[in-house]
Chain A
Amino acid sequence: MLARLFSCRFPLAAAVVAGLLLLQSGCDLNITNPNAPSEEQVLTTTEGVEALAVGMQEYYATTTLESVLLVSGTTSREVAVNNTLANLVNLEDGGTDLPPSNADVLRIWSRNYRVVEMAEEVRAATPDLPFEAGTESGLLTLADLFQAMALGNIAQHFEQGALTTNRTEPVPFVSRNELFTEALRLLDRAGTRLNDTPPSDPFINNIRGSGLDLRNTINAYRARYHLFAGNWSEAETAAAAVDLEATSTFGYDDESPNPVWNGIVRADDFAPRDAFGSAATNPDDARLDFFLAPTDLASTPNELPIEDIAGFFNTANARMPLYVPGEMTLIRAEALVRQGELGEAESAFNEVRTKTAAEDPLGLGANLDPYDGPQTADALLDAIHQERRAELFLQGVALEDMRRLGPEQPDPDDPFARSRNFYPYPQQERQNNPNTPENPDI
């Protein structure tokens, strides 16, 4: 039996020799991916980290903002859902009809945390690479700014969130106030760094988004988040530090289209509601003509009156501001009311009300008469809420405004009332993170 086995030694030997030859040949088992670099290749080269910083801006400007502006805009009633996809229908219905398994709730959560992850990678990799001082400062500032904006978005839409990402351990949750505090810390640090080490020309020309004004954006978001956190005097100071003639915008093109145009015009999933979705909009408000083009259409399936979109969102390439200068004046006005300075507040707030398009660097002007209502704090806050609704249309802050300046709880029968206070935590987070808190009822 054994003899018979080894009598076929020739074919066996040939097989062994052939195998050894094959191993010696050029057939390599370590193949580099020709389609996309791996993380190791990206984070150990200056070109990789620079490209990642550009990619982070592109992802935030297109993908993340599409969720933040349009999903939040549906809940705040700025836009109506115009498609019968089940997850959109549930989003507009809100209340208890919005389940945690909803895909749009997942996206508004996950897209912001992807930005946080990218910012953390840029921040970790940059100091070890041979960048010149101005470029390193620019990259770290970008990382801080975008992480702050992402955390701010989470804090505006969820009761609690995570401060950082973690690939191996489930992250702990903190309150939204702590998220704002962290965002402010990052913005403060970015502002200081920008003053100490101005960004280099290669950074400005090749990495930073073309219309991004870092200094003013940092101060604008500091003002915004101080206001949302209730730090009135800090909000006022930060708002005063912003140059009202400067603009800070995201650029778009056919490959990275304007996210609001993408969701409204290209996909037709959403449509802007008449009169900014508010019952108190003044019909003479010139901002209506700026943002909307009138039509007689109604949305599907809930038959809400809608218009066509214009303003910063009318083409795929339309530039979109990270903040509008009017927001700063309105933040000062609200902070002053909260601190009891009603007279000063009213004059600040009238600056926005009476502003014409020609006086605004973005062409946004209400062109209304000065305020002549009651001089009480509550009346002024209502009027400020109305101004913010129009001036900050589709900036993603309307839901936060409705909670802070509107009724305590929304009326479920009112088509202008917000359909939820906060979103439930996405099911995918709960399934994989035992720290996820209870979902808010509404």
Chain B
Amino acid sequence: MPVSEVVQSGTVTEGANEFRLPFTIYGLFAQETLGWNDRLFLTGAIRLDASSSFGEGERWQFYPKTSLSYVVSELDAWQRAGLDRWMPRLKLRGSVGVSGGLTSIGPFDRFTNYTPESYEGRPALQPSSQLGALDARPERQREIELGADFGLFNDRLAVEATYYTQRTTDLLLNRSLAPTSGFLSRLQNVGTLTNQGFELLMRGLILDRPGQQWTSTLTFSRNRNEVNGLEEDVLIFPDSFGLVGAINGEPLGIYYGSSFARNDNGEVIDQNGNVLVEDDNDLWRMRDGSPTEPGDGVPAASGEDRIIGDPNPDFVASWTNNVRINAFEFRMQWDAVVGQDVFNFTRRLAALSAFGTLDDYERELEGDLPSGYTGSAFGIFEHWVEDGSFLKLREISLAYTLDAPVPQVDRMRLSLSGRNLLSIDGYSGYDPEVNVAGQRTGVRNFDFVEVPIPRSFTVSATITL
């Protein structure tokens, strides 16, 4: 057997398996910060990185960066003008930097690897279904960031605001291939990705007295993401049920699939052309009248794939309150993610007659939905995309600290906390915050019979002796 050294390449194995992933990375960097008068700070750094995961011509990468910050509130002019009374602290900052993803692919993903097998006691080799890409380049990302940190009301209100724009070139995606290529997927550098947005953090010290303190923190962030530079109209990601892709001018991870048939006004229509409108249960009903003939009230597929949803949120926010009164500490955190779509595969499968396990199929059996509704809707993916915006009570916790309750113990802290206590959302499934693809950035918000995030309660005691 040429080359392969692992256990399962032998011709007689008993289910043993071994996989080795050796790779080498080098990094050299130099960084220096210069300060002038405690007011102006300039930092510059250069990095030189190499990774064995990429091919010879592409593996050495140079990443420079620089940042500048200026504490405006230290200026004599600022203090002379009395501005330091209402804004005692103001720092402006900006930075530009380049980074990359030298470990973003597996050590041998750029090769067309031949998997060892054995057949009738003879060594066999079969090409992997992933075609190699020896010229794959690591992604490069250039980011520009501008921000201001300042304090108001005697520094009782601290604000940090940042605007950023990132541009990733040579976006590296594992894209699907036509099976007539002999393979099913391949790494490819396919275009550019831009992310633009801003982040805001406001921290207010509402109450500040001896033994009593209340801090309230609000964060808000908004990101706009866009793919460009693709040669194809649509590039579909593998392992996404053929439903997620990259399209020029659209955010990454857009849903692309079968859609409702619509009339010239853009209204959804049934198999007989009647207009349908959505009810409170994400089901579609005839706008005028009730179903009388076969096909009435049954949504029709347009026969075309279109953009049918976007898992990227409009904004993400959170609000945290920390209160301390003598020995008691109280914490409460709310999280909100608004504007993202979720693909409700769970509901889609359960509506199919072969499973028929949730409400929708029962409605069709009882006559509430016209016969044929679930069968037709099963083939229309647009039907199952829902708004997954939520506001969640992420955590409440209460703690009490005892000083020297017994002579041997220095301090004891008791706490009771609850996480994921409440979710205010319009999603018909259990939890809009799930993803069958896990942490993957390309494929997001696929609810495919996922277990919702559990509500949990913790009681703990920390004892310091």
Contact = CB atoms under 8 A, between A and B. Distances in A.
Interface of A: 1, 4-5, 12, 15, 19, 22-23, 27-39, 41-42, 45, 47-48, 51-52, 54-59, 84, 86, 89, 97, 99, 101, 106, 109-110, 113-114, 116-118, 120-121, 162, 165-167, 170-171, 206-207, 209-210, 251, 253, 255-256, 301, 426-429, 431-433
Given A51-B123, A256-B117, A428-B242, A37 B180 contact: no
Given A29-B52, A55-B125, A429-B179, A48 B2 contact: yes
Contact of A1 (B3, B36, B123, B354): B36
A35 B6 contact: yes
A39 B2 contact: no
B4 A35 contact: yes
A165 B181 contact: yes
16 contacts: A28-B52, A30-B52, A31-B52, A35-B19, A36-B108, A37-B3, A38-B3, A55-B124, A101-B241, A106-B179, A113-B180, A114-B127, A118-B127, A166-B180, A171-B180, A429-B179
A432 B178 contact: yes
Nearest to B186: A167
A28, A39, A84, A301: most-surrounded residue (chain B CB, <10 A): A39
Interface stretch (B20-28, B64-72, B195-203, B415-423): B20-28
A434 to B, nearest CB: 9
A21 to B, nearest CB: 12
B19, B116, B122: most-surrounded residue (chain A CB, <10 A): B122
A34 B6 contact: yes
Contact of A36 (B51, B116, B119, B379): B116
Given A54-B124, A428-B242, A429-B180, A35 B113 contact: yes
B178 A34 contact: no
A426 B114 contact: no
A99 B379 contact: yes
Contact of A113 (B32, B51, B114, B179): B179
B164 interface: no
Interface string B213-248: 000000000000000000000101000011000000
Question: Which 8 pairs of residues, A with B, have the shortest CB-CB distance?
Answer: A117-B182, A110-B179, A37-B3, A55-B124, A58-B119, A432-B178, A165-B182, A38-B111
Given A39-B114, A97-B375, A431-B234, 11 more contacts: A38-B132, A39-B132, A51-B124, A55-B114, A55-B119, A55-B124, A86-B354, A113-B179, A118-B126, A167-B131, A433-B178
Contacts of A55: 114, 117, 119, 124-126
B165 interface: no
Contacts of B180: 113, 162, 165-166, 170-171, 429, 433
Contacts of B349: 86
B112 interface: yes
A2 to B, nearest CB: 9
A84 B355 contact: yes
B132 A47 contact: no
Interface of B: 1-6, 13, 18-20, 22-24, 26, 28, 30, 32, 34, 36, 50-52, 56, 59, 107-108, 111-120, 122-129, 131-132, 176-184, 234, 236, 241-242, 258, 349, 352, 354-355, 375, 379
A33 B107 CA distance: 8
B123 A431 contact: no
A210 B112 CA distance: 29
A210 B120 CA distance: 8
Given A116-B182, A165-B180, A51 B234 contact: no
A58 B354 contact: no
B114, B178, B242: most-surrounded residue (chain A CB, <10 A): B178
B22 A31 contact: yes
Given A42-B2, A56-B126, A167-B182, A432 B176 contact: yes
A35 B177 contact: no
A256 B114 contact: no
B411 to A, nearest CB: 42
A37 B182 contact: no
B178 A428 contact: yes
B300 to A, nearest CB: 12
A114 B113 contact: no
Contacts, number: 210
Contacts of A209: 119-120
A233 to B, nearest CB: 33
Nearest to A52: B125
Contacts of B124: 51-52, 54-55, 57-58
Contacts of A109: 179
Contact of A167 (B3, B117, B119, B181): B181
B2 A41 contact: yes
B2 A37 contact: yes
A101 B242 contact: yes
A48 B125 contact: yes
A148 B188 CA distance: 32
Nearest to B20: A34
B178 A51 contact: no
Contact of A54 (B36, B122, B354): B122
Nearest to A32: B3
A36, A114, A121, A428: most-surrounded residue (chain B CB, <10 A): A36
A383 to B, nearest CB: 37
A15 B30 contact: yes
B438 to A, nearest CB: 21
B48 to A, nearest CB: 8
Contacts of B184: 110, 428
Nearest to A49: B125
Contacts of B113: 33, 35-39
A98 to B, nearest CB: 10
B5, B126, B183: most-surrounded residue (chain A CB, <10 A): B126
A432 B132 CA distance: 17
Contact of A251 (B112, B120, B179, B234): B120
B28 A19 contact: yes
Contacts of A114: 127, 129, 179, 182-183
Nearest to B18: A35
A36 B181 contact: no
A29 B50 contact: yes
A53 to B, nearest CB: 9
A113 B234 CA distance: 23
Contacts of B2: 37, 41-42, 45, 47-48, 51
Contacts of A41: 2-3
Contact of B34 (A5, A27, A54, A59): A5
Contacts of B241: 101
A292 to B, nearest CB: 26
Contacts of B115: 36
Contact of A31 (B23, B36, B127, B234): B23
B25 to A, nearest CB: 9
Nearest to A300: B354
Contacts of B114: 36-39, 42, 48, 51-52, 55
Contacts of B50: 29
A307 to B, nearest CB: 22
A28 B56 CA distance: 12
B26 A33 contact: no
Given A31-B52, A48-B2, A167-B183, A84 B26 contact: no
Nearest to A163: B180
Contact of B59 (A29, A45, A116): A29
A9 B132 CA distance: 45
Contacts of B242: 101, 427-428, 431
Contacts of B126: 52, 55-56, 58-59, 118
